[in-house]
């Protein structure tokens, strides 16, 4: 009998030790409660009850209630976050099924492909199927979704806590090339008095996109530049990509080859893929020695004063592999000079358009994992996790006295102990602001507390009103970063007309930092959630089960972000009497007590709606230029 009698483990086949869990739960006999297991098909089927809601899976498309779609855990470099997508960058195989009269949770610890058909094939069936048949299947029992979240986190460990300044505002853009570009960002923010704690360095700071290098022409005196920015209260946060450029004389490449630290193909040669640097090898982060070696490389930058990183392209993204490219050219010959009919034309087109992130390529290479040779597709979803783990463990070794900011694009359960996530290449769409709102509680559920989206949208051109509404939500997300793609419209807050409003809104974020940090730490310590769906709190209020665009943040406030263009307000459902604060800034707001029920609440473009729950209070600091300058001794209290 386990000490953790609310967690049951069922073992299928010979599972790999993924590193997702931190405690050993003895295996139970038989098959998982609640499910019908079909050993021939390898499926677990649960008959969804009318009122069952299904929560979880972390970063995916669609709603907080996951019913009505099929999700596939298969980390993907997916820049189109549309409703029809089954996989994004992350895989969190944790689900909660809840109909209020009862609930249970499950976690499938399998880093290969796992399919969650939640009423897609059959409206009333939840069917789970893993591509490989070796995994631990956990079932959690509890009285409420929050208890299940707690049981899950008891199993998988405490969430990562970033340095306090990482709760400030960050400006990023793919396209800042030189120290001068970055200086300009810092200066423009300072001139307008908009607080700022971080400026992100995208791939252009590197020499030819080589990890752990700095382009000496663009950054002639990098160490001093880092110091200069620190003196301005700004932390520089460089990106690190998974692929290592193949280039004679480049130390990371040479050492990796010499020590056999790169992922190899069946024939023992290193896989050649292409990403931003051109041709690359992939470090085998699953190999302990290779992970230690790569992790220690971050020291090049921490020694220069860097205190934060974002790990990217670590699904891993593959633009092409040398092998597949050859196959494509071969295949194209078949079409050359031939009269091709329309169906052949589509075959021809598919041949070329399926070059990047091709599923076959993920079956071409291997890892040395726990002393075993394992084909990549079997452990695919661990790659970004182990890259981030390598960095996190290296920081603990090499910088034990420092808190280092770390977050990643790809992830799997367990990575939440080492870093946070951003939700990847979203678009400057109103629907993606809404998606951000819906993803946040799902991420909280799975232990990814330090999380956020590219505020304003990454792909496509944003607009001033979308940016303002997104900032109004972003001020509540632990990771609050404005980031955009190369070639898109400039979207630093100083590029817009209503800079005073942006200053007030970002100022409000800084005012909220004491509340945000306390709520965040509570969620870490108590294995709880930073952002919750309303139905987790108001268990007996049926209406809350359909509310997907209002969230409980911490335990004292509810937020209701405006996420539609040209809206001057929105409908808000109040499960109980609450105190509305309509913020324009830290010291410009009005309040009103509202009774339970439906309300249309006005919110002009520069106004944020916050609702204090009865018996609670909101403590605000006076905004400052950066987190370090906040006066957290003297807080203003708004109570209800």
Q: Is 286 in the site for ligand GLC (CB under 6 A)?
A: no
Which of the residues 77, 78, 312, 501 is marked catalytic?
312
Note whether 561 and 433 are within 8 A (CB). yes
Element (H, E) at 70: strand 69-73
Catalytic residue among 86, 425, 472, 527: 425
Q: How far is the CB of 202 from ligand GLC (least distance, A)?
A: 5
Residues 464-483 touching ligand GLC, rule: CB under 6 A, are: 483
Query: How far, in Å, CA of 60 to CA of 81, rounded?
Result: 9
Q: Which is nearer to ligand GLC, 168 or 424 (CB)?
A: 424
CB of 174 to ligand GLC, least distance (A): 4
> Are the CB atoms for 421 and 314 separated by under 8 Å?
no
Phi, psi of 182 (to 5 degrees): -75, -40
Write down the H helix ranges in 380-460: 383-398, 430-445
Rg (CA), the chain: 24
Contacts of 537 (CB under 8 A, 6+ apart): 544, 552, 575
Compute the distance between CA of residue 484 and CA of residue 559 in angstroms, rounded to an integer.
Answer: 25
Residue 19 vs 419, nearer CB to ligand GLC: 419
Applying CB under 6 A, among 146, 182, 203, 405 the residue interacting with ligand GLC is 203
Q: Name the residue nearer to ligand GLC (CB basis): 174 or 496.
A: 174
Task: Count Cα neighbours of 634 within 13 Å in the Cβ-side half-sphere.
Answer: 5
Question: In the annotation, is 629 catalytic?
Answer: no
**312 noted as active-site residue:** yes
Nearer of residues 195 and 424 to ligand GLC, judged by Cβ: 424
Residue 284 vs 454, nearer CB to ligand GLC: 454
For residue 109, what are the contacts with CB-CB under 8 A and spacing of at least 6?
15, 18, 20, 21, 93, 135, 136, 137, 138, 413
Q: Rounded to whole angstroms, how far apart are CA atoms 53 and 41? A: 25
Query: Minimum distance between the CB of residue 522 and ligand GLC, rounded to whole angstroms?
Result: 30
Q: How many CB atoms lie within 10 A of CB 103?
A: 22
Does the protein bind ligand GLC through residue 162 (CB under 6 A)? no
| Nearest-approach distance from CB 409 to ligand GLC, in angstroms | 6
Binding mask 67-106 for ligand GLC (x = CB under 6 A): ----------------------------------------
- Cβ proximity to ligand GLC: between 384 and 424 the closer is 424
The yes or no reply on residue 174 touching ligand GLC (CB under 6 A) is: yes
| Cβ pair 408, 391 in contact under 8 A | no
Looking at residues 482 to 541 of the shown chain, list those that interact with ligand GLC (rule: CB under 6 A): 483
CB of 94: closest distance to ligand GLC in angstroms?
24
Question: Is the CB of 59 or the CB of 425 nearer to ligand GLC?
Answer: 425
Shortest reach from residue 457's CB to ligand GLC, in Å: 12
Q: From CA 8, how far away is CA 16, in angstroms rounded? A: 18
Report in angstroms how near the CB of residue 166 gets to ligand GLC at its nearest: 17
- Is the separation of the CB atoms in 22 and 415 below 8 Å? no
Q: Are 457 and 449 in contact (CB under 8 A)?
A: no
Residue tagged active-site, from 109, 241, 284, 315? 315
198 HSE (CA, 13 A, CB side): 29
Q: Between residues 312 and 492, which has the closer beta carbon with respect to ligand GLC?
A: 312
Report whether the peptide linkage leading into residue 316 is cis, meaning its omega lies within 30 degrees of zero. Answer: yes
Closest-by-Cβ residue to ligand GLC is 174
d(CA 211, CA 427): 27
Q: How far apart are CA 548 and CA 436, in angstroms?
A: 11
588: annotated active-site residue: no
Count of residues of this chain found to bind ligand GLC when the rule CB under 6 A is applied: 9
Residues 291/282, Cβ–Cβ less than 8 Å: no
Strands 405-408 and 608-612: unpaired
Contact pick of 145, 424, 478, 507 for ligand GLC (by CB under 6 A): 424
Residues 223-262 that bind ligand GLC (CB under 6 A): 239
> Considering the rule CB under 6 A, would residue 425 count as an interface residue with ligand GLC?
yes
C-beta of 376 vs 409, nearer to ligand GLC: 409
114 pairs with which residues across the strands? 73, 130
Provide φ and ψ at 96, rounded to 5°. -125, 135
Buried b (16+ CB within 10 A) or exposed e, 213-235: bbbeebbeebeebbebbeebbbb
At its nearest, how many Å lie between ligand GLC and the CB of residue 633? Answer: 37
Is 312 a binding residue for ligand GLC by CB under 6 A? The answer is yes
Q: Which of residues 379-418 bind ligand GLC (CB under 6 A)?
A: 409
Q: How far is the CB of 483 from ligand GLC (least distance, A)?
A: 6
List contacts with ligand GLC (CB under 6 A). Answer: 174, 202-203, 239, 312, 409, 424-425, 483
Q: Looking at the annotation, which residues are catalytic?
A: 312, 315, 425
């Amino acid at each position: 009998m386990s000490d953790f009698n609310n967690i049951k483990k069922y073992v299928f086949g010979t599972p790999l030790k993924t590193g997702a869990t931190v405690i050993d739960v003895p295996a139970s006999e038989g098959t998982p409660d609640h499910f019908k297991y079909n050993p021939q098909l390898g499926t677990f089927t649960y008959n969804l009850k009318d009122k069952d809601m299904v929560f979880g899976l972390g970063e995916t498309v669609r709603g907080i209630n996951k019913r009505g779609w099929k999700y596939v855990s298969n980390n993907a470099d997916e820049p189109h976050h549309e409703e029809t997508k089954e996989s994004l960058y992350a895989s969190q195989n944790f689900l909660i099924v809840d109909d209020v009269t009862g609930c249970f949770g499950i976690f499938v610890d399998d880093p290969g492909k796992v399919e969650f058909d939640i009423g897609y094939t059959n409206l009333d069936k939840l069917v789970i199927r893993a591509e490989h048949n070796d995994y631990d299947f956990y079932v959690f029992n509890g009285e409420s979704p929050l208890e299940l979240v707690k049981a899950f986190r008891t199993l998988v460990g405490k969430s990562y806590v970033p340095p306090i300044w990482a709760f400030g505002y960050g400006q990023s853009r793919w396209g800042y090339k030189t120290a001068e570009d970055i200086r300009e960002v810092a200066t423009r923010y300072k001139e307008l008095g908009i607080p700022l704690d971080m400026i992100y360095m995208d791939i252009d700071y590197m020499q030819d996109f080589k990890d752990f290098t700095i382009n000496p022409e663009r950054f002639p005196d990098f160490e001093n530049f880092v110091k200069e920015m620190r003196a301005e209260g700004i932390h520089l946060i460089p990106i690190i990509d998974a692929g290592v450029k193949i280039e004679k004389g480049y130390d990371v490449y040479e050492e990796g080859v010499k020590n056999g630290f790169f992922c190899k193909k069946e024939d023992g040669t290193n896989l050649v893929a292409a990403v931003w640097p051109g041709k690359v090898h992939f470090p085998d982060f699953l190999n302990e020695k290779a992970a230690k070696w790569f992790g220690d490389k971050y020291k090049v930058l921490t020694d220069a004063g860097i205190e934060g990183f974002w790990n990217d392209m670590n699904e891993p993204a593959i633009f092409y592999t040398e092998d597949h490219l050859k196959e494509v050219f071969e295949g194209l010959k078949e079409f050359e000079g031939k009269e091709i009919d329309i169906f052949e034309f589509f075959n021809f087109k598919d041949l070329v358009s399926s070059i990047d992130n091709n599923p076959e390529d993920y079956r071409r290479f291997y890892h040395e994992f726990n002393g075993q040779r394992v084909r990549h597709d079997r452990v695919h979803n661990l790659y970004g996790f182990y890259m981030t783990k390598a960095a996190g463990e290296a920081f603990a070794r090499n910088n034990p006295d420092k808190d280092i900011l770390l977050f990643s694009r790809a992830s799997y359960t367990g990575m939440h102990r080492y870093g946070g996530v951003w939700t990847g290449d979203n678009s400057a769409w109103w629907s993606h602001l809404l998606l951000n709102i819906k993803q946040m509680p799902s991420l909280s559920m799975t232990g990814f507390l330090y999380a956020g989206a590219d505020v304003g949208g990454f792909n496509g051109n944003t607009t001033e009103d979308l940016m303002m509404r997104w900032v109004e939500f972003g001020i509540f997300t632990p990771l609050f970063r404005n980031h955009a793609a190369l070639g898109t419209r400039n979207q630093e807050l100083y590029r817009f007309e209503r800079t005073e409003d942006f200053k007030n809104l970002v100022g409000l974020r800084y005012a909220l930092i004491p509340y945000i940090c306390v709520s965040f730490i509570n969620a870490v310590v108590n294995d709880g959630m930073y952002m919750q769906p309303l139905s987790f709190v108001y268990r007996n209020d049926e209406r809350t089960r359909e509310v997907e665009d209002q969230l409980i943040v911490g335990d004292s406030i509810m937020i209701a972000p405006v996420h539609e263009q040209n809206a001057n307000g929105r409908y808000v459902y109040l499960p109980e009497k609450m105190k509305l604060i309509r913020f324009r800034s830290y010291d410009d707001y009005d309040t009103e007590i509202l009774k339970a029920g439906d309300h249309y609440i006005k919110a002009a473009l520069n106004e944020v709606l916050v609702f204090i729950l009865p018996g609670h209070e909101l403590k605000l600091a006076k905004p400052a230029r950066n987190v370090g300058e906040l006066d957290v001794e003297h807080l203003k209290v708004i109570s209800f």
